Amino acid sequence: MTKILPSETELIDCDYAVAGHDGVRCDASGELFVKPCTQAEIEFYEASIAEHPEFAEFMPTFLGTLKLSSNQTASVEEQGATLIAEAALAKPSTPARGTSPKRAKTRKIITDQALVLENATAGFKHPNILDVKLGVRLYADDADPDKKRRFDIVTQETTHRDFGFRVAGMRVWQGSEPCNDPDVCDGYKIYDKDYGRIRIRNHNVAEPFRNFMFTKSADIDKGLGKLVAQSFLAELLDIQRVLENQESRMYSASLLFVFEGDGHALRAAMEEATNGYSGTRTNGVNGSANGDGEDDDDYEDTTPKICTVKVIDFAHAQWVPGKGPDENSLLGVRSVIKILTELSQDV
């Protein structure tokens, strides 16, 4: 349900928006993600939850929407947090994050609507984040001619053309030791949109995934990185299966990969997931709850996070009964599956 909110509670910059998403905000705990949106994106979330629950499992958890009151100037930064407070009260609190890493420059979006989503990076000690933009064609049918031309150029000049995806942004924990790399900020190496647009070509298309999952300085060696690749691969195969059996069109949607970038914390989380749990509900490798599902509300999910994959960005998405699977997005999914298969076997 959409709520009209006062401007009493300040939302903060979201530290972990890696692909330059305009106007993205978080609540102070970092657990909730507030994203400016179109009505079409709200409707896609609602239709997915109601009619396509198998796909909705791979979307960020949808908590509702925010709507500005008529006397406000319509920037998301000015919104209050009635809905955020309600959601936060129902969730265990987490410490506020530390200093903010370097973020890509973005334009501010003016809107009267925003999605409230569960932040996929919450619960990780040092989350590594990779945004992979899907598709060969990046625009919807109603795009204006100029936008179509610009996006066609992006396709032709990047890995979109042959692989159906491009790395839109990435941040990778490098460890706590001092580093002279100018692209490292607060321990994270930042790969901005130019990395995927300029540096990555067909011959080195797997490079970003290696840089993402194998970081010796963060104590993630080849063996541990391969386990991460195998976990991501299992989830992505499920996403492929769902997309192949449903009929949608999702132009410029992305795959969001998140995993624990601190090798010590990652090993501990894997050991805890392997050894089971006692008295609390536990997350599996993909963040899903184990057990029979009964009385879940009586348990607090305290297991450290390991990794997750979400499909995100549905501004130009719709369900299209009778038109077949979204082969445009599936090309990118299959290409990433091939890369992950290779990395999970040998590096």
Residue 10 has pLDDT above 50, yes or no: yes
Q: Which residue has the tokens 């999952």?
A: 213
- Top pLDDT among 50 and 80 is at 50
Residue 193 near residue 19 (C-beta atoms within 8 A): yes
Average pLDDT over residues 27-41: 83
pLDDT value for 273: 87
CA 183 from centre of chain = 21
Average pLDDT over residues 57-74: 71
Mean pLDDT in the chain? 80
pLDDT value for 16: 57
The residues, ordered by sequence, that sit 6+ positions from 76 with a Cβ below 8 Å of its Cβ are 11, 23, 25, 34, 36, 66, 109, 111, 114
Provide the whole-model pTM. 0.80
From residue 33, alpha-carbon distances to 10, 14, 23, 105 in Å are 13, 8, 11, 19
38: left (phi over 0), alpha (psi -120 to 50) or beta: beta
Task: Please give the Cα distance from 59 to 318 (Å, whole number).
Answer: 14
Residue 131 has pLDDT above 50, yes or no: yes
- What distance, in Å, lies between the first and last C-alpha atoms of the chain? 48
pLDDT one-digit tens code per residue, 256-313: 999 999 999 999 999 998 886 544 433 434 344 444 444 444 445 566 789 999 999 9
Residue 189 has pLDDT above 60, yes or no: yes
**In the chain, % of residues over pLDDT 70:** 72
pLDDT value for 144: 95
Residue 344 has pLDDT above 90, yes or no: yes
Residue 258 near residue 231 (C-beta atoms within 8 A): no
pLDDT one-digit tens code per residue, 219-269: 999 999 999 999 999 999 999 999 999 999 999 999 999 999 999 999 999
pLDDT value for 14: 67
Task: Please give the Cα distance from 235 to 252 (Å, whole number).
Answer: 20
- Top pLDDT among 20 and 304 is at 304
| Best mean pLDDT range from 4-18, 33-47, 223-237 | 223-237
Q: How confident is the model at residue 31 (pLDDT cuts 50, 70, 90)?
A: confident
**In the chain, % of residues over pLDDT 90:** 59
Q: How confident is the model at residue 77 (pLDDT cuts 50, 70, 90)?
A: very low
pLDDT value for 180: 85
pLDDT value for 11: 64
Average pLDDT over residues 188-196: 95
What is the bridge-based pairing of β-strands 62-68 and 2-5? parallel
Residue 200 has pLDDT above 60, yes or no: yes
Query: Taking the CA of residue 135 as centre, how many other CA atoms within 13 Å lie in the half-sphere pointing to its CB?
Result: 22
The residues, ordered by sequence, that sit 6+ positions from 178 with a Cβ below 8 Å of its Cβ are none
| Beta-bridge partner residues of 191 | 170
127-345 homologous superfamily: Inositol polyphosphate kinase (3.30.470.160)
From residue 98, alpha-carbon distances to 52, 142, 187, 213, 280 in Å are 37, 42, 11, 23, 28
Residue 110 has pLDDT above 60, yes or no: no
Task: Please give the Cα distance from 238 to 225 (Å, whole number).
Answer: 20
pLDDT value for 99: 35
For the chain, where do the domains classified as CATH 3.30.470.160 start and end? Answer: 127-345
What is the bridge-based pairing of β-strands 127-134 and 165-173? antiparallel
Ranges 47-51, 64-68, 221-225: which has the least confidence? 64-68
